[in-house]
Amino acid sequence: MRSLLFLMFMLSLAKLSAQEASPAWARETPEAKEKRMEWWRNDRFGLFIHWGLYSVPARHEWVQQREQISTEDYEKRYFNLFDPDLYHPEEWAAKAKEAGMKYAVITTRHHEGFSLWDTKFSDFKATNTPAKRDLIKPFVEACRNAGLKVGFYYSLIDWHHPDFTVDGTHAMRNNQEARASNAHRDMAKYRQFMKDQVRELLTNYGKIDMLFFDFSYPGKDGKGHEDWDSEGLLKLVRQLQPDIIVNDRLGLDAGWGWDYRTPEQFMPQSWPEIDGQKVPWETCQTFSGSWGYNRDENTWKSTNQLIAMLIEVVSKGGNLLLNVGPTARGYIDDRAQERLEGIGRWMKYNDRSIYGCTAAPSEFQKPDNCLLTYNPDTRRLYVHLLQWPFQTLYLPGFRGKVRYAQFLHDGSEVKFTVRTEASSHEHMAITAGANDLIVTLPIVKPNVEIPVLELILE
């Protein structure tokens, strides 16, 4: 008996020891994670900001890589010209808030290796340019003052750092002399450099709500999680900011502590899953084809497209992180401002169909040319009419499920009925099924970019 008790005691000690040795994120319960990410799931809509030296050439944020400009030439051309004299982050935050965005994520350092803050670990930073100041601190303060959550983007890639390997994605990938210099480059030093910078970012600016790493690219002549010590990097992040939400781009498999998927410039066909389980996700998208300021870019999405994109993302249970690339002088250009204002006009009256919403329950079938979102707390279903129908909207299988219908933008009642056998309505009897609702709409579309029906469910 004593031996059995002793064995049980030792097993409990071993179990406790294993729990203490495991990282905090590994011990986090699904309920705790749900609570940690609650604000993010509710807010649904954020601003992404790509800003760096690449705003000076204004030809795409990968201009150094695309044009194979050496580190020395890139710094010589643009470093001493970066002078954002019109940088007023409170205006950025105000624009985001007016557009209905709830959080903002800024590129603290992109692939070019230029740091927007006064880092102690590099001279390639904003404080050494004509800007002569930390550009991250006022951004964080502006966001907090506007009531926005704060997120940092941090690039795993650094074309400027002397110890970062010249690989197939590097700006100097085709330069044989640069390739030969790999013999003297030490990725271990670079890994420590990254950890030092991440520690600064997560220590010097108070509570940070999100961290967007970018990005592993395993394969021939690429880099995977071993190159970044992704496990060690993520452990550091969790130690410094236990409540932070971290994306999936460290190259780690599911279950390694990241929080959400990040499809880029891509709309999933349905809610992404891993092993049959739906996972949190956020798509990052641009107004045009570039992330950084691109003066001559001409593939700008319309306001209608952007609103429809936001609706579609939420209808699939996701978030939208919509990107702007400020100019070299530090302001958001007119094209982006116009679209932010357009989105804001729509969100002012229709944001109830976005915040706190998710995919509709499977019992509700999407009507033609419509998207559905659903608020599980209020039990309200939102029908977004992407194309205005002529007088009649059929809601398949909705019979007995809806108590009241109204337009969301003005709260005006919308009448509906069910299939009728009356000869005068024979066209309805033929078109509508017995379990369909028949909604009567005005002939003229309301003056709303995308009208929304709010259905109060039984």
Please check the confidence at residue 113 and state whether its pLDDT lies above 80: yes
pLDDT at residue 15, rounded to an integer: 45
Residue of 311 and 20 predicted with greater confidence: 311
Q: Which residues contact 385 (CB under 8 A, 6 or more apart)?
A: 369, 370, 393, 450, 451, 452, 453
Residue of 14 and 292 predicted with greater confidence: 292
Asked if 257 and 246 touch (Cβ cutoff 8 Å), the reply is: yes
Q: Minimal CA–CA distance to 267: which of 338, 319, 341, 231?
A: 319
Lowest mean pLDDT among 18-22, 86-90, 323-327, 415-419: 18-22
pLDDT at residue 183, rounded to an integer: 97
* pLDDT tier at 84, thresholds 50, 70, 90: very high
* pLDDT tier at 10, thresholds 50, 70, 90: very low
pLDDT at residue 26, rounded to an integer: 64
**Torsional class of 272: left (φ above 0), alpha (ψ -120 to 50), beta (otherwise):** beta
pLDDT at residue 290, rounded to an integer: 97
**Residue ranges of the domains in the chain?**
28-353, 370-457
Please check the confidence at residue 336 and state whether its pLDDT lies above 60: yes
Amino acid (1-letter code) at residue 286: T
Residue of 421 and 240 predicted with greater confidence: 240
Lowest mean pLDDT among 293-302, 415-424, 436-445: 415-424
CA 359, CA 264: separation in Å to the nearest integer?
A: 20
CA 155, CA 216: separation in Å to the nearest integer?
A: 10
Record the tokens describing residue 343, joined without a space.
């989105």
Distance of CA 316 to the CA centre of its chain: 14
Query: Which numeric CATH code is attached to 28-353?
Result: 3.20.20.80
Beta strands in 74-190 (DSSP E): 103-109, 149-155
- Write the pLDDT tens digit of every residue in 260-287: 999 999 999 999 999 999 999 999 999 9
Query: How much of the chain exceeds pLDDT 90, in percent?
Result: 88
CA 230, CA 236: separation in Å to the nearest integer?
A: 10
CATH topology of domain 370-457: Immunoglobulin-like (2.60.40)
Please check the confidence at residue 13 and state whether its pLDDT lies above 50: no
pLDDT at residue 3, rounded to an integer: 52
pLDDT at residue 432, rounded to an integer: 58
Please check the confidence at residue 17 and state whether its pLDDT lies above 50: no
Please check the confidence at residue 425 and state whether its pLDDT lies above 70: no
CA 242, CA 138: separation in Å to the nearest integer?
A: 24
Beta-sheet pairing, 210-214 with 416-418: unpaired
Whether cis (ω within 30° of 0) applies to the bond prior to 45 is no
Please check the confidence at residue 99 and state whether its pLDDT lies above 70: yes
Query: Taking all residues of the chain, what is their mean pLDDT, rounded to a whole number?
Result: 93
Q: Minimal CA–CA distance to 453: which of 391, 380, 377, 376?
A: 380
Dihedral angle, C-alpha 137, 139, 141, 146, nearest 10 °: -170
Please check the confidence at residue 158 and state whether its pLDDT lies above 50: yes
- Write the pLDDT tens digit of every residue in 301-328: 999 999 999 999 999 999 999 999 999 9
Query: How much of the chain exceeds pLDDT 70, in percent?
Result: 91
What proportions of the chain, in percent to the nearest 5, are helix, strand and coil?
35, 20, 45
Please check the confidence at residue 4 and state whether its pLDDT lies above 50: no
Residue of 389 and 435 predicted with greater confidence: 389
